[in-house]
Amino acid sequence: MTSALAADLTAAGYTVEGVDALWGTEAAAALHRGTRVAALRALAARPTTPLSTVATLFVLGLPVSRADADRGFPTTGVDTLVSAGVLRTDADRVAPALDLRPYAFVDDLGAGSWWIASDLGELALGHAISEEHVLGIGGATTTLSGLQLPVPVRRVLDLGTGCGVQAMHARRFADEVVATDISSRALAIARFNALLNGVDGIDFRLGSLFEPVAGGAVRPDRLEPAVRHHAPPRGRPRLRVPRRRDGR
């Protein structure tokens, strides 16, 4: 399913640049302030395309018609995405069940781009987030990504992986990454993100702190930290991602 979804997102042109160009700089700036009025106005003035459908669902967090959703996901199929928990249906409308947006970065290893799934924010949900809420990419995430030193190592341990983006960054310079979390939902989303973006070599384990690795084949003292607080970063990467609707 993830390879088919990746094919649909690629075909739609669902990138940071594509989304910003879809509704223009004014609307993009308004979205950074948590306002989607300008983006909706821009979309209303142009024909519906697979890109506008995907962006409406996953960036604006709004439903679309079933017909538009079918055209937006011709390879994966709406029913498959509903079964996977990515979309949900209500009569002839299709709504997002996850936040899924493009993410672009440039660091010492070069440029890259992924799609990162997380839980929907409060504006899309219409109520407060739950204790099991899995955050997407925000300021703290990009700061931590910028502190990673891409020095080749054998293994990296990512404690509290969340949506898995730090583990995915670490995998770019580590032979193997062990990613742990106390939330089974977080691990499920992190696995989904790794599969969607074709990132292998990450061992996802459920548990608190070092419990998932303390008694296993991988020992904590054999794992390299991805972030070395005693050493200054060699230059933070440039990171781009459409801002969440709740401003994070």
pLDDT of residue 238: 41
Kindly state whether residues 92 and 140 are assigned to the same domain.
no
Q: Is residue 6 part of a domain?
A: yes
pLDDT of residue 218: 47
* Count of all residues that appear for the chain in the document: 248
Q: Is residue 206 part of a domain?
A: yes
Kindly state whether residues 18 and 89 are assigned to the same domain.
yes
Find the CATH number of the domain harbouring 225.
3.40.50.150
For residue 176 the two structure tokens come to: 């193997």
Pairing between strand 174-181 and 153-159?
parallel
Kindly state whether residues 80 and 19 are assigned to the same domain.
yes
Domain boundary among 68, 97, 126: 97
Domain boundary among 70, 97, 124: 97
pLDDT of residue 166: 95
| Adjacency order of strands within the sheet including 110-118 | 110-118, 99-107, 238-240
Beta strands in the chain (DSSP E): 64-65, 87-90, 93-96, 99-107, 110-118, 153-159, 174-181, 202-206, 224-225, 238-240
Q: Find, among 154, 147, 192, the residue nearest to 173 by Cα.
A: 154
Q: How many separate domains does the chain show?
A: 2
Domain boundary among 47, 75, 97: 97
Task: Say whether 68 sits in a helix, a strand or coil.
Answer: helix
* Helices within 45-183 (DSSP H only): 50-58, 66-72, 78-83, 122-125, 139-147, 165-171
Q: Is residue 114 part of a domain?
A: no
Kindly state whether residues 76 and 170 are assigned to the same domain.
no
Q: Is residue 109 part of a domain?
A: no
Domain residue limits at 209: 135-240
Q: Is residue 162 part of a domain?
A: yes
Kindly state whether residues 149 and 232 are assigned to the same domain.
yes
Q: Is residue 118 part of a domain?
A: no
Q: Is residue 169 part of a domain?
A: yes
- Please identify every stretch of the chain with a pLDDT value under 50, giving residue numbers as ranges: 217-223, 225-248
| Adjacency order of strands within the sheet including 202-206 | 202-206, 174-181, 153-159, 224-225
pLDDT of residue 122: 64
Kindly state whether residues 157 and 203 are assigned to the same domain.
yes
pLDDT of residue 130: 75
Kindly state whether residues 146 and 227 are assigned to the same domain.
yes
pLDDT of residue 231: 33
pLDDT of residue 221: 45
Kindly state whether residues 142 and 69 are assigned to the same domain.
no
Residues 86-96 have pLDDT tens digits of: 999 988 999 99
Kindly state whether residues 87 and 142 are assigned to the same domain.
no
- CA–CA separation, 80 vs 98, rounded Å? 14
Q: Is residue 203 part of a domain?
A: yes
Kindly state whether residues 79 and 152 are assigned to the same domain.
no
Kindly state whether residues 141 and 212 are assigned to the same domain.
yes
Kindly state whether residues 148 and 70 are assigned to the same domain.
no
